[in-house]
Amino acid sequence: MDKCKHIGRLRLAQDHSILNPQKWHCMDCNTTESVWACLSCSHVACGRYIEEHALKHFQESSHPVALEVNELYVFCYLCDDYVLNDNATGDLKLLRSTLSAIKSQNYECTTRSGRTLRSMGASDDSYLSHGGAQALLRNEDRMFTALWHRRRAFLGKIFRSWLELTPTGKKILEEERRREEAEERRDKARKRRQERKHELKAEMEKMPPRKSSRLQNQIRMSSETAPCLQKPSQNMESVAELKKTYTSDEVRLKKISDSPIKRRPTVTPGVTGLRNLGNTCYMNSILQVLSHLPIFRECFLKLDLNQTQELLATATNGKTRSSSKHLSIAASTLHVNENQEKVKGSSSVRRPSVSSGLSGGASKSRNMELIQPREPSSKHISLCHELHTLFQVMWSGKWALVSPFAMLHSVWRLIPAFRGYAQQDAQEFLCELLDKVQQELETTGTRYPALIPASQRKLIKQVLNVVNNIFHGQLLSQVTCLACDNKSNTIEPFWDLSLEFPERYHCNGKEMSSQYPCLLTEMLAKFTETEALEGKIYACDQCNTKRRKFSSKPVILTEAQKQLMVCRLPQVLRLHLKRFRWSGRNHREKIGVHVNFDQMLNMEPYCCRESLKSLLPDCFIYDLSAVVMHHGKGFGSGHYTAYCYNSEGGFWVHCNDSKLNMCTMEEVCKAQAYILFYSQRLTQANGHGKIPCPSTAESQQHTELADCSMDNSSS
């Protein structure tokens, strides 16, 4: 929020405990994560993602404004939003600078005797009138510092003299002497190499340039044919300029590759954290999962729609012709723009991180975080382009942390429902993101197809095919009439399966959730079980065959039962566990029951055997690829994290925004899952075994379904 009215009436508490780092922990649960300090009193408590003690303090004391002591965010509970403005006296700015000085241990008014200056209290004049007290405290601090250094020097001298007399001390001193001698030898060798290099360079500069006979012949031939050449055309000049810019870009890229940036510490590819930009954990967890799906990731690493959209924009404005020469020139400019983007990306601004991770995530190195610009990197807003850029950074092995500002602002502009910093649902965001990406690919591929190069059109078609089919499956909805036993089959597409909990698990008690875990196979069985329709509501075609179409006789309604079965399996199976249910008119509560799931899932019991009988048994086997979890108690609050399987390194990673940690399969299976991602084993096998062609298998499925429906109708 840009302007909060409650900040203007804020008066900071006198002698606040926030200035003492020893009190940076929750007063109730003693945790040091997500610590929020009330700015109206001296209370310190944990945030919403831990135990919500800060929220309880607001409900009890009506103190609306709190500050996070680690990230220095300010939040107003009455406005339910983060605060960006300050009061008239600038108290928040002063408090942030004071806390930053305390963290970096450069706070001038903190003495070694333990005395600290007070923050701005009820009276600003009284605070400013303490200039003499500040000077006195600084003098005392210098005195304590001098005494401390004197005592430390005396103790160090005594300890060193004692250590030199002991056998262990003699051994340590001998090792130190050897290390110093080895370091001196290395320095001397390094200096000799540098001097030799400078001597060789000076000798090469003094030598006259020599040309080979081949170059001399070329120069002679060019000088002979020069008078016969005519003035080149405008198109040839533009092509030459493009080649010149391309070569200059290559030289610039070569210089950057030789720079110290290339030699910075590398991280494991894919182990890159995403900074939380304000309740964006739902987006970070989904982006981590999509980047760890190899099929989805590889497509967007190859495709970048930014250049194609620029080409279409110029075509719309009438600046592009459909000649083959111009198309080739445009294709070369696309390549040049790509190189320029890589150059810009390598020189982006970086800042230090907070904590350490699995050679990735939040890192202590100052050169390991990439901060995207506040606006999208292209004037044509494109989710495909932002996915391409983000996946390139995450899997380059050079960045431990990314602040995805460009991706967030693109989502805000193209998906208005997720605009702002409110709590959002990860499942809804995943569905909206895939829909927008699909629409963008379809729109780009159909607009001015003659202006897009053939290779780019083919690549767009391949990526669109992957986006459409990676999560796409089909359900067979079978309704059976109980009067004549006639079966009516309907095929319905699906992109995920929303699984409901059985009735006995609809409770919020911690005892019930810990004693009786639910099985994933039990939820799948409930999804595919036969359900009896209430009353006589089904109009059976078989029972109404003797009744004419325009007859005045009433339609015969019978009792029926319905069953859903999978008749086409997707490459990646998404299982959405419906943990949130309505309890009351406007309240949605969470079902906190643990769901037991395995690393391998066999989908054969839940499929229509008549339609999939031609498939191999291994086609029904799925391996776990990712898990999205929801931490918290309600729908409108909580935190999202994800477990992802890194196929490059062969290990599991827990992705918690900027923090990434390696974990075991046992830890993954203990997670409170919200969305499960299973990958088909034959798709991952890369040709091992007999894999049926997808088009053949699909045609066989449709043929068998048609035969099945014809047999049922004839019966």
Catalytic positions, please?
Answer: 281, 639
Give the span between the Cα atoms of 429 and 444, in whole angstroms: 22
Cα separations in angstroms, 672 against 281, 511, 593, 652? 16, 15, 8, 16
**Helix or strand holding residue 176 (H, E):** helix 167-206
Environment class of residue 257 by beta-carbon count within 10 Å: exposed (0-12), middle (13-18) or buried (19+)? exposed
Give the span between the Cα atoms of 275 and 419, in whole angstroms: 18
What is 217-276 written as a DSSP string? HHHHHHHHHTTT--PPPHHHHHHHHHHHHHHHHHHHHHHHHTSGGGGSPP--TT--EE--
Copy the structure tokens of residue 154. 């005396």
**Helix or strand holding residue 272 (H, E):** none
Question: How, if at all, do strands 639-646 and 651-656 pair?
Answer: antiparallel
Copy the structure tokens of residue 345. 């990306």
* CA 413 centroid distance within chain: 18
Give the span between the Cα atoms of 189 and 656, in whole angstroms: 47
Cα separations in angstroms, 11 against 39, 77, 90, 554? 8, 16, 11, 77
Give the span between the Cα atoms of 89 and 67, in whole angstroms: 17
Give the span between the Cα atoms of 666 and 384, in whole angstroms: 35
3 state DSSP class of 134: helix
3 state DSSP class of 472: coil
What is 79-112 written as a DSSP string? TTEE-----TT-HHHHHHHHHHHHHTT--TTB-T
Residue (of 377, 366, 373, 374) closest to 400 by Cα position: 366
Copy the structure tokens of residue 709. 């429906």
- 668, 652 contact by CB (below 8 A): yes
Cα separations in angstroms, 190 against 181, 182, 264, 583? 14, 12, 21, 74
What are φ and ψ of residue 302, in 5° steps? -85, -30
What are φ and ψ of residue 685, in 5° steps? -75, -15
Residue with token string 């907070």: 354
- Pick left, alpha or beta for residue 686 (phi over 0 → left; psi -120 to 50 → alpha; otherwise beta): left
3 state DSSP class of 507: coil
Environment class of residue 549 by beta-carbon count within 10 Å: exposed (0-12), middle (13-18) or buried (19+)? exposed
- Pick left, alpha or beta for residue 370 (phi over 0 → left; psi -120 to 50 → alpha; otherwise beta): beta
* CA 372 centroid distance within chain: 13
Give the span between the Cα atoms of 245 and 255, in whole angstroms: 15
Question: How, if at all, do strands 560-568 and 487-494 pair?
Answer: unpaired
Q: What single DSSP character describes residue 51?
A: T
Environment class of residue 230 by beta-carbon count within 10 Å: exposed (0-12), middle (13-18) or buried (19+)? exposed
CA neighbours closer than 13 Å in the CB half-sphere of residue 538: 24
What are φ and ψ of residue 679, in 5° steps? -105, 140
- 270, 652 contact by CB (below 8 A): no
Return the bridge partners of 476, or none. 491, 565
Cα separations in angstroms, 396 against 136, 355, 393, 401? 54, 21, 5, 12
3 state DSSP class of 439: helix
Residue (of 665, 648, 529, 509) closest to 598 by Cα position: 665
